Amino acid sequence: MRSFYLDSSDWPETPDERLILTGTEAHHASRVIRVKVGEEVRVFDGIGREALAEVDYVGKNRVDLAPREVRVSPPPARSVTLAVAWTKALRRSWLLEKAVELEASAVWFWQADRSQGKIPDEPKETWTAQLVAGAKQCESAWVPALRTFPKGFPEVAAAAAAIPKRFALWEDPHQPRMLTANDLDGPGDILFVLGPEGGFSPKEEALFTDAGSGFVPVSLGRRILRWETAALLCLGLAFWSGS
């Protein structure tokens, strides 16, 4: 079944009112997918609400849908936040799609001392579009929240203060203990912080190794992984343990 995204702010007040697709979603439905009147489609808002709806008008810039059934999926029992250091765009869209599939609640990008390039102050529209594309493909009703942290690790640490399980993924072969299944078991929101291609700077390492930081430095094993591999592994382990 075809899925279309409708931002939660655009959903009607009452459940039997029409859902109106406009902009890129209307164009996608009418010009790319070429939906037909009477066809049943799925609409989702990215924060848990989805509807089965019947197409009852197809215009060039607007598609009207009559909702047949609306349901709300609760958020995952615990949130998983992936904080990856800003790095070249190469695999970012791929990672955003995997973050949806593996039910990350949030994806944070942060400016590390060794990041290549400058992080945008705000998340880009294209990132949201990539998350929506991922949610369409895996029929998820949830889309991870996006944030950027241009001020670096201290800004991430401050934003993460309420997250009980905070892991700094540290590739230093001599230091950290392994991340274990035990770490990820049971309730309690999780944060994974990963460094850039060039790794964490000594200043950043001092921040997360400080006993009072609330971070646990952990290793994924002796091999130095590319940031996207390490990120995917963290999300996969959390998804698997949460299932």
Tell me, residue by residue from 202 to 221, as one string, x for binding to ligand SAM by CB under 6 A and - for no binding: -----------------xxx
Cβ at position 193, least distance to ligand SAM in Å: 7
Which of 67, 134, 144, 195 binds ligand SAM (CB under 6 A)? It is: 195
Please say which residue, 68 or 226, places its beta carbon nearer to ligand SAM.
226
Please say which residue, 132 or 160, places its beta carbon nearer to ligand SAM.
160
For residue 96, give every residue at least 6 positions away whose Cβ sits within 8 Å of its Cβ, in sequence order, or none.
107, 127, 130, 131, 134, 144
Query: Which residues in 159-178 contact ligand SAM (CB under 6 A)?
Result: 169-171
CA gap 119, 149 in Å, rounded: 8
Please say which residue, 151 or 226, places its beta carbon nearer to ligand SAM.
226
Which of 227, 235, 237, 238 binds ligand SAM (CB under 6 A)? It is: 227
- H helix intervals, the chain: 23-27, 92-101, 125-138, 153-159, 181-184, 202-209, 227-242
Please say which residue, 146 or 234, places its beta carbon nearer to ligand SAM.
234
Q: Does 236 bind ligand SAM (CB under 6 A)?
A: no
Which of 46, 134, 144, 199 binds ligand SAM (CB under 6 A)? It is: 199
In this structure, the chain runs to a length of 243
Q: Does 108 bind ligand SAM (CB under 6 A)?
A: no
CA gap 121, 149 in Å, rounded: 7
User: Would you say 69 and 54 are in contact if contact means Cβ atoms under 8 Å apart?
Assistant: no
Any idea which residue has 């039997």 for tokens? 16
Question: Environment class of residue 231 by beta-carbon count within 10 Å: exposed (0-12), middle (13-18) or buried (19+)?
Answer: buried
Q: Which residues bind ligand SAM (CB under 6 A)?
A: 169-171, 194-195, 197-200, 219-221, 223-227, 230
